[in-house]
Structure 1
Amino acid sequence: MTTLSGAARVSEVRGWLQAHPYVADALLALGTFVAVLIGAATQPHSADGRPHFGEREVHAQTLLLAALSCSTLVMRRRMPLPVLCCTTFFTVLGLVMDLNTGAPSDQRAVLSIATVVALYTVCARTDRSTSWRVGAATVLVITGAAMLFGARPWFAQENLGILGWSGLAAAVGDAVRSRRAFVDAIQERAERAERTREEEARRRVAEERMRIARELHDVVAHHIALVNVQAGVASHVLDKRPDQAKQALAHVREASRHALDELQSTVGLLRQSGDPAAPTEPAPGLGVLDELVEGFVRAGLTVELDLPAQTSPLPSAVDLTAYRVVQEALTNVQKHVGTGAHAWVRIARDRTSLEVTVFDDGGGQAQQAAVTGSGLGLRGMRERAAALHGSCEAGPLEDGGFRVHVRLPLQAAAEEGKSA
């Protein structure tokens, strides 16, 4: 409990210092000033070979230069390069000037502590090229001044210490900058990946909603059109030919039952995996195209079907799309032309594609289905074909009637089925 409390307290203090950077830099400047004074008052060369603290007098000139140099560190974050220039200037000034006070030259070498802090700041907050150029120049200047005007001989430990600490400050600053850039890059990639996942999820949801909307439109439009036609026939012949009216009502009942079954299967796609009433029937395809055409024939539409023999099974997506295209095209004929039309359905298949063509004679008149209708059926057919990298062409014929031609590539659909 004590350890956790101490860690929480340290984290709280760190957060407060990050929120008040000038206070943190003022504390750093004060600590650096104290370190300079301790170094200046320490006797490094004693008879027993060990340093002794507080045995040397700190001269007023050294104290003044230390105060001026360390005070500039308060602005190290806002103006890193000017602060480095100031600390370097005061360090070199302390090494070069003949103070005529009897202060040993190794006492003034501790002024480089402020320069080391400023150099670290520059290397940590600028780019690599700038940090290496500025770092090399600073190391050469203060090390050269120390070896020329500092402690004797020129390779004294004080001079080598300035070289080591300044070089280490530049290297550590550059490493900290590189690590920050690496962490920022990882965070940016993670955020970008998260945005990409969210966009992909939204795209998949939109595609699924569009697919279900197409299925519902195809099912409802087809069966309701048949129900409407058969109900009209039953109403027309109810009094004079009750047997035919009864037959039409039976067709209405059968069409409505098929509509309910397909609606149940389509809406079942929205169920969760654990729901008890999941659909078990396969999706319709060209294998049951005869039943679809028979329903239109019973409604009074003349349909000729040209369906080649199945040599090999079609990809499920192509099979369903071809069935829905025929269903929607015949529904449009039933809706916009009526029972007096003659329609043809032709299915052609080769090694690379499946072609579905549905056209009618317009009941002897020019058809304007694309104009008078809502256009949702044609748009649904185009979307289905585009989803399988196919094409859909639809338009009126010169002699009257309407033609729908859809081409579905088999290879692209098979690859999509494998990837799914």
Structure 2
Amino acid sequence: MTAEWSQWSKRHGQTVDVIVAILLCAMATYASRLAIDVPGRGPVVVRPASLAVFDLSALASITLLWRRRFPIAVLAITTACGVAIGAIGFDVSVLTAGAAFVAAYSLGLWSSDLRTAKIVPVVSGAALLITSLLEQFDPVVTGGRITLVAGVLVAGAFAEAGRSRRNYLAALHARAELAERTREEEARQRVAEERLRIARELHDIVAHHMVLAHAQASTAAYLSRSQPDQAQEILDQLAGTTSAALRELRATVGLLRDDDDSDVPLEPTPGLAQLPELLATFEQAGLTVSMSAIGARRPLSPVADLTAYRTIQEALTNVTKHAGTASAAVALVYSELLLTISVTDDGGKPSDHTRGEQRSESAGYGLIGMKERAASVGGYLHAGRRPDAGFEVTIELPLETSKESDD
């Protein structure tokens, strides 16, 4: 009920101001009929309503219509009207000077200067109290003067409560907007990261299989006349290469489907366990790959295991495409915390700067993807020409720590 009234008053603020003005004018006019200093009886109706009080209270009430835009000026006018009512011989109380207290409440609620909002209403109340004392000092404590002090306190308390509630709601609204913006930014970031991850996967799959298919097709075309049997064998391998590429592409694209009932078979996630099969595909394309491992084999996280596999795959693909050599070496070094993988070749010469630069540029998104993969799992990748000859790709990946060592 309170919330509904608050919303209605906000939507019909001008109507509320008119109703308040009418009520305050009526109260002040009625109070002008009350006599003061009637022992044992309190204020009683003993005289007709005063036209002067009606005029002053009407002026004070009308100025309240601008209390939100000019709170200090409205408070000054309503206070002056209250002082004038006391000066013409009527009791100054919360009834005859009610407009001043409404204006004081408005100033405390809407003023941007907190010091002004606290001091000016007190000055207004003091002016009304002094007017009441000058008109009739004895007795000092009367009902009207008590209401003046109470009016100042109540107006200040209501203004402070209204200001606190408004600031609280503004803070809630600001936090809600910030949370909404944060959710949208996080959603966009997750989408961007997922797009980047899928782009890396598609690049690695397509680049690897296309290079192998190109090498196999070129070799088969070269041998088709002189050695048809060997050419046919290579063509059979080419069919297997393209079939593997299609399977991996279907599995990757299948992850993008929205429905959970997709019948696309999911291939196992590649890792170092599939490294022999990967090296065999390069052997079929004419690249001789030697592999060595130093240290006891330690487990990698699934993401780091995939990163290791894709890095070796991309590095060997680049060797096939750009190195101009038929051999490469893959070295795995296990330490206590890191797995260091190096893929090297002896293609090119140290003085062939142009060729080295072209090779780095031609790797393009491959090197970028490898660096992004390494960074995503907390690793580090370096790629560049070797001092003696060839090219080297080195990646360091964190190993999983065993639960036993943590106990």
For normalisation by structure 2, the TM-score amounts to 0.87
CA distance in 1, matches of 2:159, 2:6: 23
Which residue does 1:345 correspond to in 2?
330
User: 2:57 corresponds to which residue?
Assistant: 66
Q: Is the contact between residue 53 and residue 85 of structure 2 (CA under 8 Å) also seen in structure 1?
A: yes
Match of 1:320 in 2: 306
RMSD: 3.0
User: What amino acid sits opposite 2:12 in the alignment?
Assistant: L
**Shift of residue 71, structure 1, vs aligned partner:** 2.8
Residue by residue, what CA displacement relative to the aligned partner does 1:30-80 show, whole Å, maximum 9, x if unpaired?
Answer: 332222112223468879958766x52233432333233223222211110
Corresponding residue for residue 122 of structure 1: 107
Query: Deviation at 1:294?
Result: 1.2
Partner letter of residue 89 of structure 1?
A
- The farther-off stretch of 63-72 and 78-87 is 63-72
1:128 offset after TM fit, Å? 4.2
1:89 paired residue among 80, 83, 93: 80
| Farther-moved stretch of structure 1 (380-389 vs 59-68) | 59-68
Moved more, 377-386 or 310-319: 310-319
What is the rounded CA distance, in whole Å, between the counterparts of 1:223 and 1:14 in structure 2? 71
1:36 aligns with 2:28: yes
d(CA) in 1 for partners of 2:158, 2:93: 24
Measured at CA, do residues 236 and 32 of structure 1 come closer, stay the same or move farther in structure 2, by a change above 3 Å? same
- Kindly indicate whether the alpha-carbon contact (under 8 Å) linking 2:104 and 2:156 is maintained by their aligned counterparts in 1: yes
CA 1:181–1:279: 2 relative to 1, 3 Å: farther
Q: Which residue of 2 aligns with 1:271?
A: 257
Fraction of identical pairs, as percent: 38
Whether 2:394 is the aligned partner of 1:405: answer yes
CA offsets per residue over residues 283-316 of structure 1, 9 Å max, x none?
1001111111111112111111113465432111
2:153 aligned with 1:162: no
Aligned twin of 1:417: none
Shift of 1:387: 1.2
1:91 aligned partner, one-letter code? G
Asked if residue 131 in structure 1 is aligned to residue 124 in structure 2, the reply is no
Code of the residue aligned with 2:21 in structure 1: it is A
CA contact (8 A) 1:393 1:405 kept: yes
- The 5 Å alignment of 1:147-186 reads 147-150=133-136, 152-186=138-172
Could you tell me how far apart the structure 1 residues matched to 2:229 and 2:349 are? 30
**1:141 aligned residue (127, 131, 143):** 127
2:190 is the counterpart of 1:198: no
The 3 A distance-change label for structure 1 pair 109 and 313 is closer
Q: SS in structure 2 opposite 1:56? A: coil
- Which secondary structure does the structure 1 equivalent of 2:222 belong to? helix
Match status 1:384 vs 2:373: yes
* 1:287 is aligned to 2:270: no
Contact 2:339 2:396 in 1 (8 A): yes
TM superposition shift of 1:181? 0.7
Query: Within 2, Cα distance between the matches of 1:225 and 1:271?
Result: 28
Q: Give the distance between the partners of 2:67 and 2:102, measured in 1 at CA.
A: 9
Unaligned runs of 5+ in 2: 403-407
Write the distance in 1 (CA, Å) between the matches of 2:198 and 2:271.
Answer: 17
Q: CA deviation at 1:259?
A: 1.0
Q: Which residue in 1 is equivalent to 2:405?
A: none
- Supply the distance in 1 between the matched residues of 2:349 and 2:117 (Cα, whole angstroms): 86
User: Mean alpha-carbon deviation: is it higher for 365-374 or for 290-299?
Assistant: 365-374
Indicate the larger mover: 154-163 or 174-183: 154-163
Alpha-carbon distance between aligned partners in 2 of 1:385 and 1:250, rounded to the nearest angstrom: 35
| Contact 2:348–2:390 (8 Å) recurs in 1 | yes
Counterpart AA for 2:151: W
Query: Quick one: structure 1 residues 12 and 385, their matched pair in 2 at CA, closer, same or farther if it must change by over 3 Å?
Result: closer
Between the aligned partners of 1:145 and 1:254, the Cα distance in structure 2 is 105
1:370 is aligned to: 359
Are the counterparts in 1 of residues 349 and 389 from structure 2 also a CA contact under 8 Å? yes
The aligned counterpart of 1:224 is 210
Q: Which residue of 2 aligns with 1:208?
A: 194
Structure 1 residue 191: Cα displacement: 0.9
Shift in Å, 1:320: 0.4
Calculate the TM-score normalised by the size of structure 1: 0.85
> Which of 343, 346, 365 is equivalent to 1:361?
346
How far apart are the structure 1 equivalents of 2:331 and 2:294?
9
Give the match's secondary structure for 2:96: helix
